[in-house]
Structure 1
Amino acid sequence: SSGPPGPAASAPLPPPPTLPPTLSVSTSFTPLPSSVGAALELQLHSEKTKVVELGRRCTELEVKSGTFENVVCVLNREVERFATTMEAGNRQHKLDQDKIEALSNKVRQLERTVGLKDLTVAEMEGRLREMSATTFDGVFIWRISDFAKKRQDAVAGRAPAMFSPAFYTSKYGYKMCLRIYLNGDGTGRGSHLSLFFVVMRGLSDALLKWPFNQKVTLMLLDQSSREHIIDAFRPDVTSSSFQRPVSEMNIASGCPLFCTLSKLDGKNSYIRDDTIFIKAIVDLTGL
C-alpha cells in the first residue's frame, strides 16, 4: 500500500526585479567668484531697500487714503447739508415769489381802486364847483383864470374851446352854458375871441316852452373903467340850436367875432391877475 501523499512540490519563485543603476549625485559645487557674490548682495540689499521704501510709501498712502476718506465723508455730509439747505431755500424762494406776486396783484388792485376813487372824488369836486357856481336867475359870471396858459393852449390847438359851468333861468328853468374860443373859431379864428351860448338838456325840459326864445346878452367885463365889451342877440327860433335838446348840448350859437384879440394884447383892463370875467344875462321876460 502506498502511504499518505506528501506535501506538494513548491513552484519556483520569479527572479527579483532588476533595479536601474543608482545615479550618484555629486554634493560638491564650484564656488562663485567673490565679485559676483558682492554684486548679488548689493542687488539684494537694494531690493530690500526698495521693499522697505515701498512698505513705507504704502503705509503713507494708507494713512493719506484714510484721511482722504474722512475728508470725502465730511464733504459728502456738507454736500448733503448744502443740498438740504438749497432745497429748503428753493422752497422758501418759491413761497416768497408767490407772496410777492400776490402782494403785487393786491397793490395793483388797490391802485386801480384808489384811481377809481380819485376819479370819483375829482368828479364830485367838479360837480360841487359847478353847483357852487350855478345860478338860477339867468345871470351868470364866468371867471377864467390862468388866461395866458389857456390862451396858449388854444393857439397850439391843445384846447381850442372851453365850456363854462351850467346855469339856469330858474330852479326848474332852462339849462344853459357858455362856450369860448380864446383864439377864435370860424371867421374869428386867429383874430378874435369867439363867445357862444349853448342850450343844454335839463331835467325840467318837458315843462318848458320850446323853442328857446329869450334875449341873450354876452359881456367881457372891464375890470377897471367899466367899458365892457357887449354883444346881444335874440334866438332864431327856426335854428336847431334853440329847439328842445335831444342830446346833452345843442349846437352853440353866438358871436364868432365877439372881441378882437388885439384888445387883449399888451396892457388892458380886461385881464387882471391873469384872469378875465365873462358875463351872460338871459332876459326872463315872459317866463
Structure 2
Amino acid sequence: MPTLPVPTLTALPASATPAGFAGLWIPLVTPFAADGTVDHAALHALVLRLKPAGIAGYVACGSTGEAAALDHDEQLAVLDTVLQAAGRLPVVMGVSGYHLGQMQRWIATLCGRPIAGLLVPPPSYVRPAQAGLLHWFRTLADTATVPLVLYDIPYRTGAVLAADTLLALAAHPNIRAIKDCGGDPQKTAALIADGRLQVLAGEDAQIFGSVALGAAGAIAASAHWQTERFSALLRLLAGQRLAEARILWHGLLPGISALTAEPNPAPLKALLAQQGLLENVLRSPMMAASEALEQRLAALASSD
C-alpha cells in the first residue's frame, strides 16, 4: 500500500491536552516474549513510539491488550510500565468482571495509581436486566475515585445497554464517556445529541461516521498503524474539513479492513511484529493471524 498523504498539521487545530476523553486513544497491545511472559521493554518502547503522534492518551489492559489472559499482578505491572512511559499523557485502565465485590476491591487498588479513568464493560455471561446494569455501573462509579468510561460491546459481554439505560447513567457525575461498540446507530446518535457522555467510536470502521456526527473521538486499535494519520483525521473532522478528511479516511480503510479481518489483536500483533516492534506471540485461546492475512499485512508494514 502506498504511503498515505497527511494534511499540513500546522494548519489543523492544535492537539493540546484533550477536554475529558476527547481525541484519539490507543488501546495498547500487551507484547509477550517468546516464553510467554510480558515483554515490558517492548511495551515501554511502543508507548514512547506512539507518544508524539498527536494522540490523546492510552488504554491499558483492554481487550486489545489480552487482559483476560493476564492475572492481576501482571495487569498492575503492565499499567505501571505504561504510566511510566506515558509521562503526561493520560492512561485509562480496562477493568472487567462479574463479581461486584471483587470488582470494587480491584477498582480501589487501581485508583491508587495515577490513572485518568477506568474503561468498564457490563458483566460478561450474566446478562442482567437493565435495572441490574444500572445498579452495576452506579455502584462501580460510586466506588471509583476516577471517572468511568462505559464500554458498550454486546458481542463480547452478551449484555445490551439500552439507550434509556445509558441516558440514565449519564446523570451520574462520575460516568463521563462511552466506548461505543454497540452497533446501533440510532443509540449512538441519541447519545451524541444528549451531550452528557463523550462518545468514543470503538469500532474502527465507524470512526468517520461517528465523529462526523459529533462523537468526541475514538479508541482505535488500528491506530497503532499510521497513528499520525488517524490523529489528523479526527482533527480534520473536528475542524469540519470534510473533503480532506474523506480522502484521508479512504486511504486508511484498507488497513482497517486488514487489521480487523481476524480476531483482535492477532492481526495487529502480526503487523507490529513485521515492523520489528514486538514478538508475534499471543496467549491461548488467542491464536496468531493466518499466513494469508500475514501476507496481506506485509504490504501495510512496508508502507511505513
Where on the TM-score scale, by shorter chain, does this alignment land: which range? under 0.3
Query: Does 1 or 2 have the higher relative contact order (CA < 8 Å, sep 6+)?
Result: 2
Structure whose residues are more often helix by fraction = 2
Larger radius of gyration: 1
Larger strand proportion of the pair: 1
| TM-score, normalised by the number of residues in structure 2 | 0.18
